Amino acid sequence: MLHNMLNSPARSQLPAWFILFLVLMGLFIILPFLAPFFMFIGWEWGGKAIYLVYTLFCHQLPQRSYFLFGPEWTYSLVEIQAVWQPTTNPMILRQFIGNSEMGWKVAWSDRMISMYGSIWLFGLLWYPLRKQIRNLPLWGLILFILPMAIDGTTHLISDFWGIGLGFRDTNLWLANLTRHSLPAAFYTGDAWGSFNSIMRLSSGLLFGWGFVWFAFPFIHPSLPESQIPSSY
């Protein structure tokens, strides 16, 4: 879709802000994946520079990040502590970027990948469909943001007990609610496929969807005022 959009005769009709969004947001999303690639091929200065820059946007906790060029996609807190430091201090944990045996972590967490990636993806889908989509009202945006607000806030509160020690690390409340009907690995930790992982991915996806649906019509008022679908 992107190739056809940018190389079609209609490309000249694309607003400058939208082209700029696709390019700059695309680079912003791709760079965290280049960090582990640079580390893998030996360009450590480039990889470490990206890790440093993206500390401004993400906690970079390794147990909530994806790893590339290693045997596993994700690692538990215990596995990371075994090769790094036996600490639960997030400021120390975030410094672990990986190694040649485990692979190298992407420069931001799974939630950031989902959130920023979905903004780019839904932005790409929104533009050709914009005239057929009713604007999202403010209360709709709040509903889209609410899952991430709840999930992020409960993670923050849980981490006050210590990384790996809080109620969102064991999710005993969920295990009791579901009568332990799911595998133990679903409830505990942050590994791929766990409850925490699914919640971070899905809430980030909903945030990106809601943000584009609500904000982009204001950025690009492409229809005459009389033709803009009412939100209320």
Per-residue pLDDT at 2: 53
DSSP state of 99: E
Q: If we measure between CA atoms, which residue out of 46, 49, 106 comes closest to residue 75?
A: 106
Res 228: pLDDT: 41
pLDDT at 138: 96
Structure confidence at residue 232 (pLDDT):
40
Q: Mean pLDDT, 10 residues at a time, over the chain (232 residues)?
A: 52 80 97 98 97 96 96 94 93 96 97 97 94 94 98 93 90 96 94 95 98 91 45 42
The pLDDT of residue 106 is 98
Where residue 83 falls (left for φ over 0; alpha for ψ -120 to 50; beta otherwise) is alpha
pLDDT for 230 equals: 44
Distance CA 140, CA 122 (A): 16
Q: pTM of the full predicted structure?
A: 0.85
Q: How far apart are CA 150 and CA 108, in angstroms?
A: 20
Q: How far apart are CA 109 and CA 63, in angstroms?
A: 9
Give the per-residue pLDDT at 208.
Answer: 98
pLDDT, position 1 = 52
Q: So what's the pLDDT on residue 231? A: 44
> Tokens 């005459």 appear where?
224
Would you list the domain boundaries of the chain?
Answer: 2-110, 128-227
The rounded distance, in Å, linking the Cα atoms of 139 and 183 is 36
